Every structure is written in C-alpha cells, then in structure tokens.
Structure 1
C-alpha cells in the first residue's frame, strides 16, 4: 500500500437515503462489486449493498442479478426502487465511490505505484469501514475476486477480524447482495457517462459519441483518434495509464524526451556552496587567542 497519500480525498462516499444506521443494529450482510474496471474512458465505480440477514432472501424478489445479465431498463428499475421505494429500502441500502480516470492514472503513475488490484482492494476495505462507521452491524461480507483469491480474503480478514469474509469468483452471479452492489455500480457509471460534461474546451466528439469506453469499441477507438491534443494529450475522461492511451499518444501526439544530465553537472549543481569552517568558541575569540602552528 502506498503511504502518505489520501486515495479517497477527491471521491467522497455517496450513500443511499437509508444507509446511515441501516437496519438499526440488526446483523447485516454486505456485498461489494465494481463497474468500469476495464475501460480506457471514464471512472471506475465501487459500490456496496447491505441487507439485514433476516431479509436477505427478499433480494431475490427484486430481481437482482449480475448487472451484465440484466438489460439497461431492468437495472435502472431496480436501482430506482432501491433509491425511492420505502418497502425496498427496508430490505437493501447502498453506497458507492466514483474513482475518476484522473485519479486512476495518478495512482498508477506514482513512483510507488498503485496497481488496479491495489485500487480495488483499498476501495473495498474503505467501503466496509464506512458502513461500520455509519453504525451498520456487518456480520458477513461477500466480494468478487480481484487478484489471487486467498491472499485477498486474508487481507480483508486482517482488517476486519470479527466479520465473516467470503471472496469468490462470479460473486455477482452467486450472491444476490453482490448482484445488488453490481447494479448500483453499473447504473451509476452509465449515468455519469451519459451526462458527461468535458472540463476542457474544444473537445471533438464524433456524432456517434465516444462509445462504451472499452478499448475494443469502434466508437471509443474513433474518439481516441479525434480527441487528442498533440501537446496536452487527452481530456480528463481518458485514463492516461492505459496501454491503449499510451500507444495512441505515441502515434498522434508530439514526442518529448527527458534527457538525464551527466553526473558532473549534477554534482556541480548540488555542491555550489563553499564549506563553512566551524565557529570557534567565544572564550578564545573574546580574548583574541589564535592557534599557533609554528614556534
């Protein structure tokens, strides 16, 4: 883990209307999933969903499933119920963080780099911690595998020794609480991209838009070709740390080369001051006593 850098300073937690003190102390399960891990465009959204253990079976009645299986209309309907329906809000609540493309790139380009797995692990840990800090009694946690399963599960157990932790492949398909988190993350990210407002002026966007953001999407490929500035590169929508963006910049942008100065020049810049002789004791200077080197 990288020290001395607050990863989440610029991406505050966004909570559902009933997340604070959800279930009023009843034991709850919590599921975590993300959306936008692979795209070269846009943010990655990490979300959690919580449900009382006594009502966890009711999640199936909502029709939750892996967000990739559900169509857009169904995902938005379920998310709307989670956000506004008073009956549904007794069954499930949620919270999420939006990790911007700029933050992802900055993390991966640091001298002490965050990998994408590091970002995912820290996001999951922070979501669990935020739920606990808001008075939710978390008994069980279910998370999709990111990196080696065993080491990830042990990492979470070290942080939360009193909670049952399950890290599993296809968790968004196996556990409805993770499916609910998957829907929150997917709907949130899709909504952000639909309403995207560029911070930069003069960005060229093809009539068909910038696509899904995945490197293989033809619309995304076209956007990466026309939106590049030869000096400043891409707008903040683009993850500069992705190989797709790096290769495109090599072809389409002005190349710059950082030259390392010779050691002799660096040393002369470092050692510019003459050495200062040590100051003599006032006892000798007040009495005008000097060192005698010859008799």
Structure 2
C-alpha cells in the first residue's frame, strides 16, 4: 500500500488511493466502505473503500479478508499484502481525518456530530471512486447510526447504485472486510509514525489502544498534559476524557473580554409592572389642548 506520504505526515491527513485497475473501469464493480478509529481519544479516524469487479468477489474472499478487529496486527499486514498483490482487480481509497479536524468539526457553532462527519466522509469516498472511472454498481457500507436512514440517504445521493447498509457489514461482505483491513492498517501506521511537533510532554508510544477506558491511554494523557497549552496534536481535545483531565489539572484561563459572572435576570422581570412614577412639573398646555381634553402620550 502506497502510504509513504501518510507515514511522513500523519497529522496532515488527506486522501490516499491505489491506481484504478483497468478491469474496474470496464466491468461492474462492488464497493465496500468501513472505518477504523471512530471511538479512540488518540489519533485519526480513517475511512476506507475497497472495490473489485462483481465477478471477482469469490477471488477477493479467497484472499482471506475478514473483519480487521478479529485479526492480529501481523495478520492484517499480511492480508493487506495479498490485497496489494491482487492490484490487477482490487483497488482502494482512504480518507484520513486528523484528531484536530475531528474535534474542530464537533465543537463548531453549527452542530456537526461524529455521525454526520462519518457519513459525509463515506459519501465522498464513493464519489471519488465514481469520478475515478470505477464502474460501481453495488455499494456495501458498515452502518453509522440507524442503518435504514443511512441507506436512504446514500440511495438518494447515488440513485443509480444498489446500496446496502448493515450493522457488522465488515463481517458479512468480503468487500467491506477488505476496506476494514485497509482502514485499520492505515490508522495503525499513522499512530506508529506520528510526528510529535510539541516541545512538551513525553512522546513515547506507550499509549495503549487509544480508547478512553484503557489505563495505558489514561496514564499517557495525564503524563502528556501541558497545564497551559493542553495536549499534543495526537489527542482529540473534544473527547470528554481529555476535557475532564484538562479542567482538573490544567491552569484556569480568564479571557480579557469575558463579562464578569452574574446571575441572569429572570424572564418574568421583563414583564413586571413598574411602580408609578411621579410626573415632572410641566406648565399648563395650550388652551387648544385643554378644550379638547388632549394629553401627551407620555402621560397616558
């Protein structure tokens, strides 16, 4: 897999893809979509597509593709090598979303949650395959959120394709299993080759799985917290685990333009009747107004 560019700059993210096999430009193809790294507090999330001609799906399955979570790291690397060797009929594409990008999306003013980010990324990779000339006719996707709603969204976007969205699709459809392997290997390599640019912390790679409930991950976060500047770029700062640690052990910050704390007024206070105020002394109005019993609006 040509991921040398990703390994040089994992924090930069971006898209990476194989050459499109000529056979995939001529024959109807099945395409699978899966991701790796959705839940961890550390590292990027990687979305992957893998595709091959429908008639070649038995050959793809014969390569031993499987849900990447059921394979050891060595087995994932080995089976990825088999996918690369089958480059005359198998192609792939990746979208690597850096931690800072994920957190910025989730914390922007307009609500944009992780499900929406995931679905938009998957949709973009399917479009990438179509724009690259792959003759996609069938799409299989591991679901994010309710599968029926997700499938309807993709079917509306790609009305000419047969779309199937299922939970655990990476264990049901070989083409999704292949995408799962590509995504997981790419994420593992990004973590392994991560360039720590910060001048603080202890950038050893003993951070465990990267999931918030992993004791090694929690200890690495605590050890790499800089009280003023926070965490290295490897950390998804929008995750609750990171936020709680920063609030507990970081330095409090007061911004110069912050308003002083105060209790907001009750909504009912805007509708309360004000006590009557004495009217200021005014000279008698002109006889024209007196004869007609006219009074200024301010006195009514």
Question: Could you say what secondary structure the match of 2:24 adopts?
Answer: helix
Query: Counterpart in 2 of 1:148?
Result: 146
1-side partners of 2:210 and 2:246: how far apart?
Answer: 17
2-side partners of 1:135 and 1:37: how far apart?
Answer: 29
Question: Could you say what secondary structure the match of 2:70 adopts?
Answer: coil
Query: Counterpart in 1 of 2:259?
Result: 260
The structural deviation recorded for 1:11 is 4.0
Contact 2:41/2:212 (8 A) holds in 1: yes
Across the two proteins, how many residue pairs are aligned to each other? 248
Give deviations 1:227-264, integer Å, cap 9, x for gaps.
111111001100011011111111110122553379xx
1:1-295 maps to which residues of 2 (within 5 A)? Answer: 11-16=13-18, 18-19=19-20, 23-83=24-84, 85=85, 88-205=86-203, 209-257=206-254, 259-260=258-259
What are structure 1's unaligned runs of at least 5 residues?
1-9, 263-295
Contact 1:205/1:226 (8 A) holds in 2: no
Give deviations 1:32-63, integer Å, cap 9, x for gaps.
00000010000000000001001011111100
Give the RMSD, CA atoms, in angstroms.
Answer: 1.6
1-side partners of 2:231 and 2:102: how far apart?
Answer: 14
Larger Rg: 2
2-side partners of 1:261 and 1:126: how far apart?
Answer: 45
Give deviations 1:259-294, integer Å, cap 9, x for gaps.
3379xxxxxxxxxxxxxxxxxxxxxxxxxxxxxxxx
2-side partners of 1:22 and 1:106: how far apart?
Answer: 40
2-side partners of 1:150 and 1:257: how far apart?
Answer: 46
CA gap 1:25/1:39 in 2 versus in 1, 3 angstroms: same
The structural deviation recorded for 1:82 is 2.0
2-side partners of 1:229 and 1:170: how far apart?
Answer: 39
Contact 2:22/2:88 (8 A) holds in 1: no
Question: Could you say what secondary structure the match of 1:29 adopts?
Answer: strand
Q: Which sits farther off after the overlay, 189-198 or 169-178?
A: 189-198
The structural deviation recorded for 1:219 is 1.3
Contact 1:20/1:135 (8 A) holds in 2: no
